[in-house]
Amino acid sequence: MRRLPSLNALRAFEAAARHGSFTGAAGELNVSQAAVSRMVRLLEERMGFPLFERRANALELTDRGRALQPGLTGAFDAIADSVERVAAMRDGPVLTLGVGATFAVRWLIPRLSAFHESHPDVEVRIATGGAGAPIREDWTCALLLGDGHWPGYEVEELFTADMLPVCAPALARSLRRPEDLLSATLLSVSHWADDWPHWFASAGLAPPAVKGLSFGSYAMTLQAAADGVGVALGARLYIADDLAAGRLVTPFALAVPMGRAWYLVSRPARHREPGFTAFRDWLRAAVGSPDSEKKRPPENAPAV
């Protein structure tokens, strides 16, 4: 059982400590200055030591007052945040989706309006993932790139990650054979450093000895390719819109399976939640649509 002093007295002390006066605390708490002074005095009597040194025109915290105030401020801030979060909660289903930034921008977000139109009651919250744990406790589910091995989770394969070279149209004019890539600036994603060597091996070529440029995400890599910096390996899923718009072109048609894919990753305990079931069913239909790349396995790595 907690044995706490009066919460009103604690609030009065904390506010007075922040404002440096009983007057400022009274204005914040919408009570009189005398009421604040009385509550602080009762708190000091309850604790058995003074919290302020009262001077003619100012309050000064004692050592014990300075030690007490930060913990109370943090606690009251946490209470206020919790109340605000609960007040903001909707009555309808909520879907919190963990997804890599590139996947979100290049595939998911352009299609979210279709999901919202068919399920306007579901509140969608997008959370971008990184190189840490593949799925957080507050996520309903996640869309992750990997090899399909996430022990303890339900995993459903969605899209393959076949890769092919892409570059700006002007640069493509100088690339007539796969061998021409040996002297080109190659752009790669730092956590998929083996992609280019794998592609060259599939083309029957030894990879170049000179390293190109490495980026922290596919989004940056493909942007650099569109800007004419060099040649990138792009997954069809990520490059379809750029190819259609002519921002990127494929100098060679060789698409190489990279042994990974995108998966819907979820906990079995979340499967009956209305938000999850609505999104899963919509996602299955979207994967089967003509503009979506179909399946094949992947590799366990950070969401990208």
Per-residue pLDDT tens over the stretch 74-112 = 999 999 888 877 766 656 788 999 998 888 888 899 899
In Å, how far are 223, 255, 287, 304 from 188, measured between CA atoms?
A: 12, 16, 27, 13
Domain 163-245: state its class. alpha beta
pLDDT band at 131 (very low <50, low <70, confident <90, very high): very low
Sequence spans of domains, the chain: 7-85, 94-161+260-287, 163-245
The answer to whether 7-85 and 94-161+260-287 have equal CATH topology is no
Q: Is the pLDDT of residue 38 over 50?
A: yes
Q: Average the pLDDT over 12-27 and give the result.
A: 92
In Å, how far are 69, 90, 303 from 82, measured between CA atoms?
A: 20, 15, 29
Structure tokens at 189: 């994603």
Record the pTM.
0.59
* CA atoms of 37 and 43, how far apart (whole Å): 10
Q: Is the pLDDT of residue 145 over 60?
A: yes
Q: Average the pLDDT over 49-64 and give the result.
A: 90
CATH number for region 7-85:
1.10.10.10
Q: What percent of the chain has pLDDT over 90?
A: 52
* CA atoms of 246 and 129, how far apart (whole Å): 30
How is domain 94-161+260-287 classified at the architecture level of CATH? 3-Layer(aba) Sandwich (3.40)
Q: How far is CA 52 from the centre of its chain?
A: 44
pLDDT greater at residue 289 or residue 288: 288
Tell me the pLDDT tens digit for each residue of 190-227: 888 888 999 999 999 998 877 789 998 888 999 999 99
Q: Average the pLDDT over 143-168 and give the result.
A: 89
